[in-house]
Amino acid sequence: MKTVVILISGRGSNLLSLLEAELPGRIAAVISNRPEAGGLAYAKERGVATVVLDHRAYSNRADFDAALGDEIERHGDSKGPDLVLLAGFMRILSDGFVRRFSGRLLNIHPSLLPAFPGLNTHAQALAAGVRIHGCTVHFVTPALDSGPIVVQAAVPVLGGDTEEALAERVLRQEHRIYAQAVRWFLEERLLLTPGGRVELLGEGPPATPLISPAQA
């Protein structure tokens, strides 16, 4: 059975959805860089090993990332876990860390990448006046929020939306597509092409177009 390690920093909303998804793999550990992260309780309640590695105890990013990488590799076979998931892990990872786990490091980002990378994505979307917003699961590469895209989900931006209302609408889709992407990975259905794109093996027929505002 393939093993998964999940990294968190906060409340653990996406973590909870992954724990409840009955994935075809074993979640070996949940690691947080913040001891107060609420998501640690979700993991403990379900008997998943938890580790706190406080980044504030390290003098620089490189030292923290090296320690984090060593801790991750403890939870798996001789090469570490099969998959590492960023689930609200609020740290920019060094190039060395990303390369260490290349091809087995996934992230969920609250925008339709490549639009609105970085922070405050919902505010960016509202300021830009987009009609459709959403979320993206992607492989992590050294360039921020620019790795090969696995799956995306879109939601309408409604008149009068606040950041909070839009964020909640997007979050519901995050919970759906992150678990789906992880399932595909564990089932060995994701293929990274030499050109840096993701192909889904056994993919079904194309979905119908999403248009917003809807056509009459």
- SS3 label, residue 129: coil
Q: Which of 55, 75, 109, 122 is catalytic?
A: 109
Structure tokens at 11: 């409340």
Q: What is the CA radius of gyration of the chain?
A: 17
Please tell me the number of Cα atoms within 13 Å of 98 on its side-chain side. Answer: 17
Query: What phi, psi does 87 have (nearest 5°)?
Result: -125, 80
Residue pair 166/128 in contact (Cβ under 8 Å)? The answer is no
CB atoms within 10 A of CB 151: 18
Comparing CA positions, the residue from 95, 94, 42, 101 lying closest to residue 71 is: 101
SS3 at position 108: strand
Domains present along the chain, CATH in parentheses = 3-200 (3.40.50.170)
Taking only the tens of pLDDT, the chain with its 216 residues reads: 999 999 999 999 999 999 999 999 999 999 999 999 999 999 999 999 999 999 999 999 999 999 999 999 999 887 899 999 999 999 999 999 999 999 999 999 999 999 999 999 999 999 999 999 999 999 999 999 999 999 999 999 999 999 999 999 999 999 999 999 999 999 999 999 989 999 999 977 777 888 888 776
Whole-number pLDDT of residue 29: 98
Region of residue 129 (left: phi > 0; alpha: psi -120 to 50; beta: else): left
Say whether 138 is catalytic: no
Query: Would you give the distance in Å from CA 84 to the centre of its chain?
Result: 9
Q: Do the beta carbons of residue 157 and residue 133 sit within 8 Å?
A: yes
